Structure 1
């Protein structure tokens, strides 16, 4: 554990006290034993694993603190890149505390020791560099200093490893910092900035598309989701969210036909949350997108029935352009009507039943019609209601 006198000197920037502890007041007269004791003293850490340099970096940026940092680095250069229990370096600590002067001083020390890149690109256990800390506290001065030292920081880490600084800036609403990060990134690849912008609204979405020249609209996250998947999944389709969806779709119309790692297309995502306006937008852009199937062979109508999104079902039933998907069957041979009966959703079932194009006589992979399922698979009371309704019909007719 760190000696209390060393901790006090580091936290308060007491340069003279630190010199005395390290035997720097009379270095020529120090014995080998005293030098060894001073070295061991420097190796002490706090309960969080912070070294003396961590404490100096987090607590000040005036000249006395800088002198303390230089002295510690001279006596124990490994502490410059040492990490605490959370993986933070002294640079992380300085950036988190908003200490502009200390951040710059530590970078200068690392440059002199030829450890600049090692220090700047060190990630903690959250896969974040000191740049992430500067973004989180919203400090454009520190962001600028870090990027001047290493512009590549804006692209660390890759999406599969963690959250990029640009993604974080947009998510936190730090638009001025986000613009700086975007301008310092030679490529938007891997940043997934637009995913974050979509969640914040149409203005941030517009900004990211402009900064990246629409390139961000083509990027996927670790789940294979494009920004259009995110936009389609916004449940409250008000004017702003509709604009978001429209902007992303215009930037990359091909995203309509890109499935995520689970086999879901944007239209499936929209249907699952009841985003009728998004579904309508996609169908209006390309009515062929209505027939896209997920990994289970289901269209957006199947998904809407399965998720009990009545508004989406009613929209599909009332749109003449979608008559051709009404009887499409999934991998199990089930139509949307089969699924409505299986789910026991009478209002959804009724909406489909009133649609002229919906057929009642189609069988699934088990050889069952919707009436068969109503008789054998649904709870007795609900089964009676459904079967009683179907018995009024000739199985070969439609309504």
Structure 2
């Protein structure tokens, strides 16, 4: 009984398998259609039980779809001779056999399919060329999508009207041809359809209206010229995102397109996009100084254009941390009126740079004497006030600290304004953690430098009359070591004592202690580095190559340490202002340029 049940179960499985396989095309027929095997296909036709015409693949492709896609003209003609109705049979994606032939780029197959369809009726052929798949794509769309220019030209000549049909993505064949850079096809299409696109509101879909944008995406200046020569009005239309043609070219980084538009249609510099900005603001947000320069050469009053929220191009550059644009504006005297302009919220460019924590822009603006760092926005806050308010959040405090250091020396003393919130618990916790950390560091430095003061390199002299004296006391390196070590020790002791005062709950005491102890610990670490370098150099000075390596490593490390520690000192900014411009630029690039990660 058990064996009989198993046998019956196996027979049931075989039946289900047969039913499942029967849904799909016979493998031999599939291979014959794909390989263009006429003889094998003919044998299949003669076998009525295995007739290939009603069989489909898993994606519901008929044998005509497969033969058309593979480009087998004789087989296509054989199939159509027996079953012309397969010409209008769609697969699961809604594709006709003409779509399949167009997608693979077989022009001879496309012609063969259309010749046979014409035998039935001209209307049937035109209807097939207008038929769309599930992506709302005609055969012309499919050919262009797969970059088959010759097939696309042939299909367009048979049915020109479909060149303005948008697909599911909103792309018309004209836009697709422009994007692909098919100049010849674009010229043919524009002769038929551009006027319709401009004049007929029913054809003004988002992508149909952006043929110029498609040409800019394709980066083909010839296509761009052909479109605008046929219908110049297209240059003023926006795409689906409200982006103008000139702004789009700037965003795409297509400089040839930018130059062409500015040369032929400079008035587009005054065209506001959907977000309220002008092309000069877009160029500023992208950091394109060359584009800004060209716009101002052709339209000098474009500098006065105010975009979104009443912001000029310097506002935009400061907000987006485009230091190249900021420096270009600062170096151009004609643009000086932009430096202290306010937006709808009363913010100057310096305010925006400080709000968004762009330290390089803050640095560049704060150093320029024409920039009024004490201007207040509509909330009554200077740029420094804005930063200090943002420092109340624990997460942003370390980043804002750098911005605060850049602004604080050049700004007037902050006035106390009524209504300010008391220090938040997060800020208080952060300050306490900083005090404890600095106190720990200062104690460690005291311990190390104290020990180094009694374990001198070279040891002590045991001979009279110099008992107990350092043996290397006359060497310059030893003297530098001892002085540096002593400075490091006392600086750390003073910093530690100041930090003891910070243990009280008074916010002013904590702030004062941090402002004093920070620079003192900076001095300690610098001097400790100097002492270490000179001490090691001294004890290996008899081996020149090793001594030189130690000296070079110590010098490089000291230089990096100075670049990090100097901004902690009060008056650092004022000191640099008194130096030659070339020195200021060097320090700016070295120090502020390395603060990007903050």
Say which SS state the counterpart of residue 411 (structure 2) adopts.
helix
Question: Which of residues 54, 58, 67 in structure 1 aligns to 2:65?
Answer: 54
Corresponding residue for residue 171 of structure 1? 179
Change in 2 beyond 3 A, CA 1:13/1:254 = same
Instruction: Tell me the TM-score normalized by structure 2.
Output: 0.55
Q: CA deviation at 1:234?
A: 4.2
Change in 2 beyond 3 A, CA 1:275/1:210 = same
Corresponding residue for residue 401 of structure 2? 380
Q: CA deviation at 1:148?
A: 1.9
Matched-pair contact (CA < 8 Å) for 2:374–2:411 = no
- Encode CA deviations 1:361-391: one digit per residue, 9 max, x unaligned: 4322322112312333252343133112224
Question: Which of residues 57, 63, 78 in structure 1 aligns to 2:74?
Answer: 63
Change in 2 beyond 3 A, CA 1:14/1:346 = closer
Corresponding residue for residue 208 of structure 1? 226
State the aligned residue count: 373
Question: 2:81 & 2:312 partners in 1: Cα distance?
Answer: 65
Corresponding residue for residue 12 of structure 2? none
The equivalences for 1:67-216 within 5 A come to 67-73=78-84, 77=85, 79-111=86-118, 112-113=120-121, 114-157=123-166, 161-187=169-195, 189=198, 190=208, 192-201=210-219, 203-204=221-222, 207-209=225-227, 211-216=229-234
Q: CA deviation at 1:47?
A: 1.8
Tell me whether 365-374 or 292-301 shows the greater mean CA deviation: 292-301
Please list every run of 5 or more consecutive structure 2 residues that lacks an aligned counterpart in the other structure: 1-23, 199-207, 392-399, 416-576, 578-598
Question: 2:348 & 2:231 partners in 1: Cα distance?
Answer: 42
Corresponding residue for residue 238 of structure 1? none
Say which SS state the counterpart of residue 185 (structure 1) adopts.
helix
Matched-pair contact (CA < 8 Å) for 2:99–2:139 = yes
| Match status 1:4 vs 2:15 | no
Matched-pair contact (CA < 8 Å) for 1:138–1:177 = no
Q: CA deviation at 1:126?
A: 4.2
Tell me whether 309-318 or 60-69 shows the greater mean CA deviation: 60-69
Question: 1:362 & 1:16 partners in 2: Cα distance?
Answer: 89
Question: 1:205 & 1:13 partners in 2: Cα distance?
Answer: 39
- Encode CA deviations 1:237-263: one digit per residue, 9 max, x unaligned: xxxx54421211333334223333333
Q: CA deviation at 1:61?
A: 4.5
Matched-pair contact (CA < 8 Å) for 1:10–1:68 = no
Instruction: Give 1 or 2: higher helix fraction.
Output: 2
Change in 2 beyond 3 A, CA 1:234/1:144 = closer
Q: Which has the higher contact order (CA 8 A, sep 6+)?
A: 1
The equivalences for 1:257-276 within 5 A come to 257-276=270-289
- Encode CA deviations 1:199-234: one digit per residue, 9 max, x unaligned: 454633654346534344233221122221122224
Question: 1:12 & 1:380 partners in 2: Cα distance?
Answer: 72
| Match status 1:352 vs 2:355 | no
Q: CA deviation at 1:143?
A: 2.3
Which structure: larger Rg? 2
Q: CA deviation at 1:91?
A: 0.9
Change in 2 beyond 3 A, CA 1:314/1:176 = same
Change in 2 beyond 3 A, CA 1:125/1:301 = farther
Question: 2:100 & 2:320 partners in 1: Cα distance?
Answer: 47
Matched-pair contact (CA < 8 Å) for 2:132–2:138 = yes
Change in 2 beyond 3 A, CA 1:100/1:360 = same
Q: CA deviation at 1:271?
A: 1.0
Q: CA deviation at 1:171?
A: 3.3
- Encode CA deviations 1:262-309: one digit per residue, 9 max, x unaligned: 333222221111111111222333344334344433322211111110
The equivalences for 1:359-370 within 5 A come to 359-370=372-383
Alignment root-mean-square deviation, CA: 3.4
Say which SS state the counterpart of residue 193 (structure 2) adopts.
coil
Corresponding residue for residue 282 of structure 1? 295
Question: 1:211 & 1:107 partners in 2: Cα distance?
Answer: 34
Say which SS state the counterpart of residue 222 (structure 1) adopts.
coil
| Match status 1:224 vs 2:242 | yes
Q: CA deviation at 1:184?
A: 4.2
Please list every run of 5 or more consecutive structure 1 residues that lacks an aligned counterpart in the other structure: 236-240
Say which SS state the counterpart of residue 384 (structure 1) adopts.
helix
